[in-house]
Structure 1
Amino acid sequence: MIDTLKEHLVAVENFSSQSPEEIENFRIKYLGKKGLMNEFFAAFKTIPNEQKKEFGQVINQLKQAATEKVNVLKEALEDQQDTAGIYGDLTRPGQPLELGARHPISIVKNQIIDIFSRIGFNVSEGPEVEDDWHNFTALNLPEYHPARDMQDTFFIQTNPDILLRTHTSSVQVRYMENNKPPIRTISPGRVYRNEAISARSHCFFHQVEGLYVDKDVSFADLKQTLQYFTTEMFGKSKIRLRPSYFPFTEPSAEVDVYWGLETEADYRMTKGTGWLEIMGCGMVDPNVLKNCGIDPEEYSGFAFGMGIDRIAMLLHQITDIRLLSENDTRFLKQFKSAL
């Protein structure tokens, strides 16, 4: 009986056909209600005990081989029919191309890069796993400086001097170390902070920071650059700068754009004031220039930074920042037509 099974196993493996009728007859012969497989399973009771193990293994192999053979032949037959159906009729209309979806973070980042590239800013990038010098110390944040508490940091446990960068200002430090003024660059990228995840905050998000260093750079140059950006990005030309504090710039300011109060959404976003905070900025602290090997007596500069996630939420009326990282295709498909 085992030899008979093995003969059928060879026959199944060698069987091939492109005829639907022959494939169906083959299926009925082995796998039908009155097929050979049912007969072999029924004969299992009569097999001597010492042969049952081998018999069971072979009969299972035969059933699996017959099932796979039927499936493979049917799929090949369906593929041939589909191909003939598509290419056989030349009057058939073409298949529409499925457009992919671009992530809103990528959309906004590309818009920001495009706006600043028009006035001579290039793009610089750096590592997300950073050292203490580039992330803190070189930016006028020495060890035990109280301003470090502003940024809850993810440190690498095996080495306390290695961390996940808390801002892309570290890229600016690296750029200044390796390039001489005039410097005009923006640094987009992902940053990490140990914050509670909610609808308005996340433990990782995206920033773009800008840096301009040259001779005789003034605060007026900074304001005009930001005026240009807000006009191009939002279509809003009215901005205001409020005094603030950042360790690596002096003086420092928060930038607000006048969004208006035309709709209910405007009232909600601006809390009824019409003004919306979009970024921080300031003149580069001379200590930072000195740490990067640039003479602060000869050169000056300004820097600014904004959250890409926040601008994306603003432009596309996204109410929950978590949607930007959950990869929900229903959410992402809304951005199919966006460039």
Structure 2
Amino acid sequence: MSAPNSDYDPVEVTPLHPDEVARVAREALEAVAAATTLADLKQARLDHAGDRSPLALANREIGALPPQARKEAGQRIGQARGEVNRAIAARTEELEAVESAAQLAAEAVDVTLPVDREVVGARHPITTIQELVADIFVAMGWEVAEGPEVEAEWLNFDAMNLGPDHPARTMQDTFWVEPAESAQVLRTHTSPVQARSMLTRTPPIYVVCPGRVYRTDEADATHMPVFHQVEGLAIDEGLSMAHLKGTLDHFAQAVYGDGMTTRFRPSYFPFTEPSAEVDLLCYVCHNDPASVGSCRTCGGEGWIEWGGCGVVNPRVLVACGVDPERYSGFAFGMGLDRTVTSRYDIADLRDLWDGDVRFTEPFGVGL
């Protein structure tokens, strides 16, 4: 039996020829060196070190060689691929450093320069509407009057012609301050400020009284146990409902814009006689026949309830030391919370009390 032919000349496979491997490796190194961006280098890696690159295809051809030739060919291809991969790694590091430096230069910020943007912040809309109302009436020559939120029972009720048996004095509507003999309440309206103004001033009196008030209402989308009112009081000689109507029309236009007006509906309040509910012309449809029927804001009525008003009851004048034979007056009151919610189409009154800065930010610093 004859022995294997050790002098067997291996079949020449062109991709594995030393000159061909050297050429392919040289082209790969040149392509890597020529890459000026990471994108160019990525393409060079795909072309010269990827699965379909000449060196990768040559590596697959090693299996076509006789066993005694495979070791040398494998070493030759492995050395070429290793050299190319090392060149790619080195070039990647260089280009990453270059691009990082360029990015840092482009996005550089001089922290020593003055800040060109400051967060302005926002004020609560209730605060700003109170100041707006105050500005409107101060411009008319009125004064802004204030009073305590824990108020004497007499000032909150008796002085306003709310007798001892009036339903508003029961625990269902009023927060009473303990002990019971203190005769103090959390004020249910800002009318006590009107009483204090008449007791401490000499007519003519023109005061507007914005402030926080309390009633035992359940918190829901349209009611809160704590809310805000603005009340106005005018005491002078010869005042009538006509002066009241003109005042409220001007007030409505100042808050909601030109063209706004009010209407009166007969009503009853113990502290005014005659009394009226104040309706505001719908600020969306303006009672326009073409659109009032489909208006969701006023529900097709063309008018929105705004507050209450009337000529000051002579009993209130007498209780507060004002001569009803010489002086007459008018008074009105509106809820500021509902004024804000209606003006800005806020669906839930509780949004005013949640303390979420995302709610107040759109209002900025003024109305």
Which residue number corresponds to residue 179 of structure 1? 201
C-alpha deviation, 1:210, in angstroms: 0.2
Structure-2 change in CA distance of 1:297 and 1:278 (3 Å): same
Deviation at 1:266, TM superposition (A): 7.8
- Residues 102, 338 of structure 1: 8 Å contact kept: yes
How far did residue 127 of structure 1 move?
0.2
Moved more, 155-164 or 248-257: 155-164
**Superposition pairs of residues 212-251 of structure 1, within 5 angstroms:** 212-235=234-257, 236-251=259-274
1:117 counterpart = 2:142: no
- Are 2:332 and 1:304 equivalent residues in the alignment? yes
- Structure 1: gaps (5+ residues): 1-84
Q: After TM superposition, give the deviation of residue 140 of structure 1 in Å.
A: 0.3
For structure 2, the residue ranges without an aligned partner over 5 or more in a row are: 1-109
Q: Deviations over 1:239-283 (max 9, x none)?
A: 210001111000000111111537799822211111101111000
User: How many percent of aligned residue pairs carry the same amino acid?
Assistant: 49
Whether 2:111 is the aligned partner of 1:86: answer yes
Does residue 198 (structure 1) correspond to residue 226 (structure 2)? The answer is no
The Cα of 1:151 is off from its aligned counterpart by 7.2
TM-score by length of 1: 0.70
Q: Provide closer, same or farther for how the CA distance between residues 212 and 204 of structure 1 changes in structure 2, counting only shifts above 3 A.
A: same
Q: Secondary structure at the match of 2:250?
A: helix
TM-score, normalization by structure 2 = 0.65
1:281 maps to which residue?
309
1:258 aligns with 2:286: no
Does the CA-based 8 Å contact 2:211-2:228 persist in structure 1? yes
**Can you list the C-alpha shifts for 1:284-335, whole angstroms capped at 9, x where unaligned?**
0000000001110110000000000000001111111111111011111111
Aligned length: 252
Partner of 1:16: none
> SS of the residue aligned with 2:208?
strand
Instruction: Name which of structure 1's ranges 185-194 and 266-275 shifts more when overlaid on structure 2.
Output: 266-275
Summarize deviations over 1:83-125 as a string: whole Å, max 9, x none.
Answer: xx633xxxx4534221020111012111111111111111000
DSSP 3-state at the match of 1:270: coil
CA 1:178 to 1:96, structure 2 compared with 1: closer, same or farther past 3 Å?
same
Question: 8 Å contact 1:218–1:301 — kept in the other structure?
Answer: yes
Deviation at 1:146, TM superposition (A): 3.9
User: Which of 192, 210, 233 lines up with 2:232 in the alignment?
Assistant: 210
**Alignment equivalent of 1:101, drawn from 104, 122, 129:** 122
Q: Give the whole-Å Cα distance in 2 for the aligned partners of 1:204 and 1:146.
A: 19
Structure 1 contact 151–166 (Cα < 8 Å) conserved: no
Task: Please identify the structure whose Cα radius of gyration is greater.
Answer: 2
Question: Match of 1:123, as an amino acid?
Answer: V
- CA RMSD after TM alignment: 2.2
